[in-house]
Every structure is written in structure tokens, then in C-alpha cells.
Structure 1
Amino acid sequence: MIVRIMGEGQVKLADEHFVELNALDDELLDEMESGDEEGFRRTLGALLDAVRRLGTPLPDDALEPSELILPAPDSSLEEVREMLTGDGLLPG
């Protein structure tokens, strides 16, 4: 799966990593629903760090269709809320 982190680029991730990433996504969704800005910032950072750690960056000149787009690290809770459809950032 190709994942884009807004403002950074694209990363290729193996499907086997989605269990770990979905756990962070669920935590992030809970924090968003409760309005926990501090927890949201911490968990968003952890999610993005996990994608960077587990994935393989694509070259800057590569332009693959992204199956998933994650917010930039400095995105606000409200900006991310607007990106969501209610199911979290990662596909089920």
C-alpha cells in the first residue's frame, strides 16, 4: 500500500503492519472524539513515526497513486477531523 504523509512524500507499507497502525488510528480517533488535543498530538506523531519506521520511502520524483493520505505532523485536531469520514484514517 502506498501512503502519503501530507507535506513529506510517499511511503510504501506492507499490509502486515496495519495491525500496529490500526491500534494507533483507533487511539487517535478516541482522542479526537473526546477533544484531547495533547493526546491527539502525541498519537498523531506516533502514527506518523510508525509509518516512517515501518515503510520504505519512495523517491521524491515518484508519483504513485496514494491509497491513504495522512495529515502533516503540524495538522490541528480540527483539520484532521475534517479529513475523516468517521472511520479513522486507516481503512478497516
Structure 2
Amino acid sequence: MIVRIMGEGQLDLSEADMDLLNSVDTTLEAAIESGDEEGFREALTRLLERVREHGKPLPMDALHPSDFVLPPSDASMEEVRAMLGDEGLIPDVS
């Protein structure tokens, strides 16, 4: 799956990586729903770190359709709330 982190570029992740990310996405969603700014910041940081760690960066000149887009690390809770879909930021691939 192709993931874009806004302002950084695209990364290629396997379906196994997606399962790993879904648990962090759930934590992020819960923090947003409860208005927990500290929990939100920690979950967003952890989510982006895992994408960077497990994803294979695509060349900057390669433009592929992204399966989903993640916010930048400095995004506000309101900005991320606006990006949430029915399945959070990370779609369920199972």
C-alpha cells in the first residue's frame, strides 16, 4: 500500500505493516475522541515513526496514487479530526 505523509513524500507498506499501524490508529482515534492532547501527540508521533520505520520510501519524482494520506507531525488535533474516515486514518485491509 502506498502511504503519503503530508510534506514528506510517499512510502510503500506491506499488508503486515498495516496491521501493526491499525492498533496505533485506534489509539490515536480514541485520544481525539476524548480530547486528550498529550495522548493524541504521542499516538501521532508513534504512528508516523512506524510508517517511516517500516515503509520503503518511494523516489520523490515517482507519483503513485496514495492509498491513504497521513498528516504531518505538527498537525493539530482538529486538523487530524477532519481527516478521519470511518476507519480512522488507516484503512482496514483485512
Q: Deviations over 1:29-87 (max 9, x none)?
A: 00000000111011101000000000100011111100010001000000000111242
Q: Which residue of 2 aligns with 1:17?
A: 17
Kindly provide the amino acid, as one letter, of the partner of residue 27 in structure 2. E
SS in 2 for 1:66: coil
Q: Which residue of 2 aligns with 1:4?
A: 4
SS in 1 for 2:3: strand
**How many pairs are equivalent?**
92
Q: Which runs of 5+ in 1 are unaligned?
A: none
d(CA) in 2 for partners of 1:15, 1:84:
20
SS in 1 for 2:59: coil
Q: Deviations over 1:11-41 (max 9, x none)?
A: 0001111221000000000000000011101
Flag as ranges the 4+ runs of structure 1 deviating above 3 A.
none
Q: Which runs of 5+ in 2 are unaligned?
A: none
TM-score, normalised to structure 2, is: 0.94
SS in 1 for 2:30: helix
Percentage identity across paired residues of the two chains: 55
Q: Which residue of 2 aligns with 1:66?
A: 66
Q: Which residue of 2 aligns with 1:87?
A: 87
TM-score, normalised to structure 1, is: 0.96
d(CA) in 2 for partners of 1:10, 1:80:
18
d(CA) in 2 for partners of 1:8, 1:62:
13
Q: Which residue of 1 aligns with 2:57?
A: 57
Q: Which residue of 1 aligns with 2:35?
A: 35
